[in-house]
Structure 1
Amino acid sequence: MVERDIYFDAKGRPYFPTGFDIKKAERIMGNYVRCFTNSCFTFAEIAALLILQGTGYDGGTSAYHLCFVLGVDGGDRATLKRWKARVKP
């Protein structure tokens, strides 16, 4: 996998807004799962609601791709145990 695959789809459209900071998104997700250990949200919902909200990229494709970049499955429930067990691609 190359960097272009992470940030652009097959048609060349970006998954994330210009200047998007992956490290900052990782910190936001980590802080959320540490503070709300009994969350009923999935990782993709948190990505869409907290990280990508208001950017115009808060749809499912960008949220699930952000989860892929962070090493978690977007459909899994956001728990600290799953966050700690993530595998970075």
Structure 2
Amino acid sequence: MVEKLCTMYGEKIATIGNTTYHDFPPVSALAKVTVENDLRSAGFGYRAKFIYQSACKIEEMGGTIWLEKLQDMPYLKAKSELMKLPGIGAKVRYS
């Protein structure tokens, strides 16, 4: 799925032989209104909504600057910040 996401929205960075490689897409590319429907059509299922909504939320919170700030945060603070995104939450283990 990551490769498909990169192919759909990432910038082409190289072609080696018959294979074209794409960069991971910027948040702004994933926050466009057509993204959710396009991803559903591409087989992303329920994940399409979370990818689109998370990209929109990241843009709302500051975009790349917000993401970069996460790198300097203590683990628990960064985790708390990431859990503000749609579809990201604590996992429950069942024994």
TM-score of the superposed pair, with normalisation by structure 2: 0.30
Report which of the two has the higher share of strand: 2
Larger relative contact order (Cα-Cα within 8 Å, sequence gap ≥ 6): 1
TM-score of the superposed pair, with normalisation by structure 1: 0.31
Indicate the structure (1 or 2) with the bigger Cα radius of gyration.
Answer: 2
